[in-house]
């Protein structure tokens, strides 16, 4: 397992280098003076005389080495990323990394609970549907999975809001209710993990944890439905294929109960293709998180881009891109580890994804 983890981490590092080099290469395609103006911000340039603006641009080009060859510029930028210097955002008037760190816990919390929902639910429902193929349970599963894969997340989110918030008042959009939000922002509440569902318990405030869960329900369901449908359908197909193999016939001949055959043998082998498909769709999960955050007013990382989309901010855009790459790669590693736990054969040859 240790060798498997080392191989995966090395491959992630190589992938990160390649992708960040491409990201910075795209930034470098812009004219040098245009890139220098991005360091100043639109409001700053609006009050500058043309002569002062030109001198400022020349100073920025010289201080930031924008005339240097691309490899030198990339290595300088990458070394700053490693040191935690992700650049200054003139729009937000703050360091990019500091702003990201404030909003990452909300995005992580939404992603984490979505994973905890759709992975076990997808495996179990897909296994049951495959085991009972052509029966009512299988037909219901296929219908719901087809709907889940057909409805875009933002449409599903709006439908759920209209039903369960506007109509029934069961669940609320946003991150917290007003009263609980005031408690969290007060000095008496200690932020330990950044996840409100956990920090509420650690602070002895069960009401805050329950309120956070109430706000999480709709975005988690919205984010999970498509990936549950994908994982469930792949698992169902794998289970049906496993049922035709010789070891299943031998298990029946030995008198093993159907429940033990399904959960002890079939699902273990059928889970690997489904988890592989989930790892390959990690990028779509991260993208889905951003869409869901916008629909439900979730104060995650995506709000940084939506709030600053009308003004160019190269440091914020590059930082957001690097964060997204790190999030996707981290999620892929997590899913690969789950695959390796389920199927020890993957530890010898590396991850299939």
The pLDDT of residue 218 is above 90? yes
**Averaged pLDDT of the chain:** 83
The pLDDT of residue 353 is above 50? no
Q: How many CB atoms lie within 10 A of CB 299?
A: 16
Taking residues 172-187, report their average pLDDT: 85
The pLDDT of residue 177 is above 80? yes
- Please indicate whether residue 91 or residue 200 has the higher confidence score (pLDDT): 200
- Quickly state the pLDDT bin for 8 (edges 50, 70, 90): confident
CA distance 268 to 276: 13
> Which residues have a Cβ under 8 Å from the Cβ of 274 and sit 6 or more positions away?
122, 123, 126, 231, 232, 234, 235, 238
- 51-55, 70-74, 186-190, 330-334: least confidently modelled range: 51-55
List pLDDT tens digits, range 227-277. 899 999 999 988 888 887 878 878 878 877 878 888 877 888 888 888 887
What is the distance of C-alpha 147 from the center of its chain? 22
- The pLDDT, as a whole number, for residue 347 is 62
- The pLDDT, as a whole number, for residue 270 is 81
The pLDDT of residue 351 is above 70? no
- The pLDDT, as a whole number, for residue 228 is 92
Percent of the chain whose pLDDT exceeds 70: 92
Residue-range domain boundaries for the chain: 2-96, 102-349
- Please indicate whether residue 179 or residue 93 has the higher confidence score (pLDDT): 179
End-to-end CA distance of the chain: 16
The pLDDT of residue 217 is above 60? yes
pTM: 0.81
List pLDDT tens digits, range 286-341. 888 888 988 888 888 887 777 666 666 777 888 888 888 888 888 888 888 877 77
List pLDDT tens digits, range 123-171. 999 989 988 888 898 899 999 999 988 888 889 989 998 998 888 888 8
Most confident of 45-54, 189-198, 306-315: 189-198
- What CATH number has the domain spanning 102-349? 1.10.3720.10
- The pLDDT, as a whole number, for residue 352 is 43
- The pLDDT, as a whole number, for residue 46 is 59
């Amino acid at each position: 397992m240790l060798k498997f983890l080392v191989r995966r981490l090395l491959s992630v590092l190589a992938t990160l280098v390649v992708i960040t080099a491409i990201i910075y290469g795209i930034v470098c395609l812009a004219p040098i003076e245009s890139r220098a103006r991005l360091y100043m911000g639109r409001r700053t340039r609006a009050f500058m005389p043309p002569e002062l603006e030109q001198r400022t641009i020349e100073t920025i080009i010289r201080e930031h080495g924008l005339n240097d060859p691309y490899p030198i510029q990339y290595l300088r930028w990458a070394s700053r990323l490693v040191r935690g210097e992700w650049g200054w955002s003139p729009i937000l008037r703050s360091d990019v990394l500091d702003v990201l760190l404030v909003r990452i816990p909300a995005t992580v919390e939404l992603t984490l609970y979505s994973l905890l929902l759709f992975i076990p639910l997808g495996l179990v429902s897909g296994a049951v549907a495959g085991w009972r193929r052509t029966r009512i349970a299988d037909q219901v599963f296929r219908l719901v999975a087809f709907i889940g894969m057909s409805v875009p997340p933002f449409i599903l989110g709006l439908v759920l809001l209209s039903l369960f918030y506007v109509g029934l008042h069961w669940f609320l959009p946003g991150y917290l209710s007003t009263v609980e939000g005031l408690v969290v922002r007060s000095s008496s509440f200690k932020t330990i993990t950044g996840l409100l569902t956990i920090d509420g318990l650690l602070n002895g405030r069960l009401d805050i944890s329950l309120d956070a869960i109430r706000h999480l329900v709709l975005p988690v369901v919205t984010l999970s439905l498509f990936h549950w449908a994908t994982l469930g359908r792949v698992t169902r197909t794998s289970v049906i294929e496993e049922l035709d193999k010789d070891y299943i016939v031998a298990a029946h001949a030995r008198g093993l109960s159907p429940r033990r055959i399904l959960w002890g043998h079939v699902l273990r082998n059928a889970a690997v293709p489904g988890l592989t498909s989930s790892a390959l769709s990690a990028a779509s999960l991260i993208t889905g998180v951003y869409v869901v955050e916008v629909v439900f007013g979730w104060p995650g990382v995506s709000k940084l881009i939506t709030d600053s989309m009308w003004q160019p901010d190269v440091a914020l855009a590059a930082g957001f891109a690097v964060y997204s790459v790190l999030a996707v790669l981290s999620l892929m590693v997590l899913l690969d580890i789950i695959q390796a736990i389920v199927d020890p054969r993957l530890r010898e040859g590396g991850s299939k994804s």
